[in-house]
Amino acid sequence: MSSTHLSLHVHVVFSTKNRTPWIAVDWRDRLHAYLGGVAREQEAVPEAIGGMADHVHLLIGLTATHPLAAVMREVKKASSEWVHRTIGSPEFAWQDGYGAFSVSASLRDEVRAYIARQEEHHRRRTFREEYLALLTKSGVAFDPRFVD
- Superfamily name and number for 8-138: Transposase IS200-like (3.30.70.1290)
Average pLDDT over residues 55-82: 96
- Residues 90, 85: Cα–Cα separation, whole Å: 8
Q: How confident is the model over 82-109, as a mean pLDDT?
A: 96
Residues 10-67 have pLDDT tens digits of 999 999 999 999 999 999 999 999 999 999 999 999 999 999 999 999 999 999 899 9
Q: Residue 19 — left, alpha, or beta (φ > 0 → left; ψ -120 to 50 → alpha)? A: left
Does this model's pTM top 0.85? My answer is: yes
Q: What percent of the chain has pLDDT over 90?
A: 85
pLDDT surpassing 90 at residue 3: no
Q: What is the DSSP string of 3-49?
A: S----EEEEEEEEBGGG-----HHHHHHHHHHHHHHHHHTT-EEEEE
Whether residue 98 contacts residue 45, with contact meaning beta carbons closer than 8 Å, is answered with no
Domain range list for the chain = 8-138
Distance CA 11, CA 101 (A): 5
- Average pLDDT for residues 79-90, to the nearest whole number? 97
- Cα–Cα nearest to 36, from 8, 75, 87: 75
